[in-house]
């Protein structure tokens, strides 16, 4: 693998388009004057923007090899630190271990629009890494810096409403990733007084949202998604609402993959809503289970306990008989089979949320300190919901006084779940 990187980097150094870019990177890294750093960072970004997509991988290969730590210097510094572990020798070791490409990225970030350009660059890097996993070290440096630059302490939380700019509202429509917004009327419904939308913004990106969450203010925990996004607005302001439901969280910046923002967003919004509407007693989600269908038909399902094999066989037989599941199929499903299906989903979430086939939404909320509260049958009858989770959705409960405790439980391998879920775990 390393040989492949070196070969790509060698090509980059002789390529007529890439060689000037690499020279500019070396010069930027060695420059000391602030004005020169500013000009060179702009030059690097301009030359990178002109690269054909096929040459980006070679550029990243050069970052992986030419701008990596010097092994001899690292070894020498480590030896000196081991012999004399002083603050000075530790600082020397730290300098030797840090890849020079990290400082290069810091300097590139000083250019106007540098942060946005680096986010776009990381998107290219993530694509290149799929076919070249040895570029993971470069991506680790991007992730390390972005996690620092996008620390929640630097972000601002804003409510998005119908008075927000049309440009921002268009971005909300475009980036909604869970429940499609079909147009302006649909968006208007989601921004009525009994609904909320909050987004995180970063000072260097202006009005470009990083991530946003949609909230419904209700009397009780919901069991289906359609009433949340299709019902007319409540006649009164939500002064009587007792429950805040987080029903959609969408990331807007693919270049921030791996930077945890959603957990801080939910907690921040819960705090703000609790301050604005002190009568709220319950904070929960209505969440999809996008990994459920794949698990049902995948090899991991074979790990089920023997008593679950018959319920599984009944569900798979029903699915095979119906082909592509439709809403009407769920409406006609016998109640015992409904229980089988819901029980299998509960089993999947409680027993498999730490493994390789874990549901990503479940893992996010459980690791964030939520409790698996309820499995809802026929809760999402959209084509996407039927395909991914056979129409099931679940509620995760956020008890703000217990989120740290439940987060630790999840870290320790335990999935916190309600008594109703526990009853579903018993096969029939």
Spatial separation of the C-alpha atoms in residues 15 and 3, rounded to whole Å: 18
Residue 197 CB neighbours (<10 A):
23
Q: What is the DSSP string of 148-161?
A: HHT-GGG-EEEE--
Residues 16 and 136 placed together within one structural domain of the fold: yes
pLDDT of residue 9: 59
Active-site annotation holder among 41, 250, 287, 353: 287
Domain edge (last residue) among 109, 125, 149: 149
Q: Are 283 and 241 in contact (CB under 8 A)?
A: no
CATH number at residue 233: 3.40.630.180
Please state the rounded mean pLDDT for residues 47-60: 91
pLDDT of residue 42: 95
Residues 303 and 264 placed together within one structural domain of the fold: no
- pLDDT, the chain, mean: 92
Active-site annotation holder among 202, 352, 365, 417: 365
Give per-residue pLDDT as tens, 300-314.
888 788 889 999 999
pLDDT of residue 231: 84
pLDDT of residue 179: 94
Output 306 or 173, whichever has higher pLDDT: 173
Residues 208 and 326 placed together within one structural domain of the fold: no
pLDDT of residue 17: 72
Half-sphere exposure in the Cβ direction for 336 (13 Å, CA): 7
Domain edge (last residue) among 254, 285, 316: 285
Residues 273 and 307 placed together within one structural domain of the fold: no
13 confidence band (pLDDT: 50, 70, 90): low
Q: Is the pLDDT at 157 greater than 90, yes or no?
A: yes
Residues 9 and 44 placed together within one structural domain of the fold: yes
pLDDT of residue 413: 96
Q: Are 277 and 241 in contact (CB under 8 A)?
A: yes
Q: In a 3-state reduction of DSSP, which class is residue 113?
A: coil
pLDDT above 70 as % of the chain? 95
Catalytic-residue membership of 36:
no
Give the pairing type, strands 243-251 and 282-285: parallel
pLDDT of residue 104: 96
In this predicted structure, which of 52-56, 149-153, 217-221 has the lowest mean pLDDT? Answer: 52-56
83 confidence band (pLDDT: 50, 70, 90): very high
CATH number at residue 417: 3.40.630.150
For residue 30, give its domain range.
Answer: 2-149
Please state the rounded mean pLDDT for residues 225-235: 86
14 confidence band (pLDDT: 50, 70, 90): low
pLDDT of residue 255: 96
Domain edge (last residue) among 130, 149, 168: 149
Residues recorded for the chain: 428
Catalytic-residue membership of 365:
yes
Residues 120 and 192 placed together within one structural domain of the fold: no
pLDDT of residue 16: 63
Report the chain's C-alpha Rg in angstroms.
25
Please state the rounded mean pLDDT for residues 117-134: 95
pLDDT of residue 28: 95
Q: Is the pLDDT at 32 greater than 70, yes or no?
A: yes
Give per-residue pLDDT as tens, 211-227.
999 999 999 999 999 99
pLDDT of residue 428: 67
Q: Are 42 and 29 in contact (CB under 8 A)?
A: no
Work out whether the CA dihedral 314, 318, 324, 330 comes out positive or negative: negative
First-last CA distance in the chain: 51
Please state the rounded mean pLDDT for residues 216-240: 87
Residues 210 and 140 placed together within one structural domain of the fold: no
In this predicted structure, which of 145-149, 227-231, 410-414 has the lowest mean pLDDT? Answer: 227-231
Domain count within the chain: 3
pLDDT of residue 7: 67
8 confidence band (pLDDT: 50, 70, 90): low
Residues 6 and 140 placed together within one structural domain of the fold: yes
63 confidence band (pLDDT: 50, 70, 90): very high
pLDDT of residue 263: 87
Output 236 or 182, whichever has higher pLDDT: 182
Residues 166 and 247 placed together within one structural domain of the fold: yes
CATH number at residue 11: 1.20.140.90
Residues 115 and 157 placed together within one structural domain of the fold: no
Q: Is the pLDDT at 151 greater than 80, yes or no?
A: yes
Q: Is the pLDDT at 103 greater than 60, yes or no?
A: yes
pLDDT of residue 173: 97
1 confidence band (pLDDT: 50, 70, 90): low
pLDDT of residue 15: 65
Spatial separation of the C-alpha atoms in residues 149 and 151, rounded to whole Å: 6
Distance from chain centroid for Cα 394: 19
Residues 323 and 398 placed together within one structural domain of the fold: yes
Residues 171 and 227 placed together within one structural domain of the fold: yes
């Amino acid at each position: 693998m390393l040989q492949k990187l070196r070969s790509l980097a060698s090509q980059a150094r002789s390529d007529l388009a890439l060689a000037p870019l690499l020279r500019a990177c070396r010069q930027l890294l060695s420059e000391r004057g602030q004005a020169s750093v500013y000009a060179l960072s702009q030059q690097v970004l301009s030359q990178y923007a002109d690269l054909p997509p096929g040459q980006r991988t070679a550029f990243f290969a050069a970052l992986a090899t030419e701008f990596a730590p010097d092994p001899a210097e690292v070894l020498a510094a480590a030896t000196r630190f081991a012999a004399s572990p002083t603050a000075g020798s530790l600082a020397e070791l730290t300098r030797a271990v840090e890849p020079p490409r990290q400082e290069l990225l810091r300097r590139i970030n000083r250019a106007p629009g540098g942060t946005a350009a680096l986010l776009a660059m990381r998107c290219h890097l993530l694509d290149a890494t799929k076919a070249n996993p040895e570029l993971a070290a470069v991506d680790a440096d991007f992730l390390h810096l972005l996690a620092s630059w996008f620390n929640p302490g630097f972000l601002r939380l804003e409510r998005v409403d119908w008075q927000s700019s049309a440009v921002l509202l268009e971005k909300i429509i475009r980036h909604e990733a869970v429940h499609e917004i079909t147009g302006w009327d649909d968006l208007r419904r989601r921004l009525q007084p009994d609904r909320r939308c909050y987004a995180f913004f970063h000072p260097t990106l202006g009005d470009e949202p990083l991530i946003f969450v949609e909230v419904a203010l209700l009397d009780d925990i919901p069991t289906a998604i359609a009433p949340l996004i299709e019902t007319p607005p409540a006649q009164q302001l939500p002064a009587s609402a007792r429950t805040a439901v987080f029903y959609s969280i969408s990331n807007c910046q693919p270049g921030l993959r791996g930077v945890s923002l959603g957990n801080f967003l939910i907690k921040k919004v819960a705090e703000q809503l609790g301050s604005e509407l002190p009568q709220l007693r319950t904070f929960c989600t209505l969440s999809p289970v996008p990994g459920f269908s794949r698990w049902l038909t995948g090899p991991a399902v074979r790990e089920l306990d023997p008593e679950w094999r018959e319920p599984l066989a009944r569900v798979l037989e029903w699915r095979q008989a119906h082909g592509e599941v439709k809403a009407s199929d769920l409406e006609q499903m016998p109640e015992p089979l409904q229980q089988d299906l819901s029980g299998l989903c509960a089993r999947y979430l409680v027993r498999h949320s730490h493994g390789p086939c874990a549901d990503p939404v479940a893992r996010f909320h459980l690791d964030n300190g939520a409790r698996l509260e309820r499995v809802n049958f026929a809760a999402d009858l959209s084509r996407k919901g039927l395909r991914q989770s056979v129409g099931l959705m679940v509620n995760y409960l956020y008890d703000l006084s217990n989120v740290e405790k439940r987060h630790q439980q999840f870290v320790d391998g335990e999935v916190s779940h309600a008594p109703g879920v526990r009853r579903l775990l018993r096969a029939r």
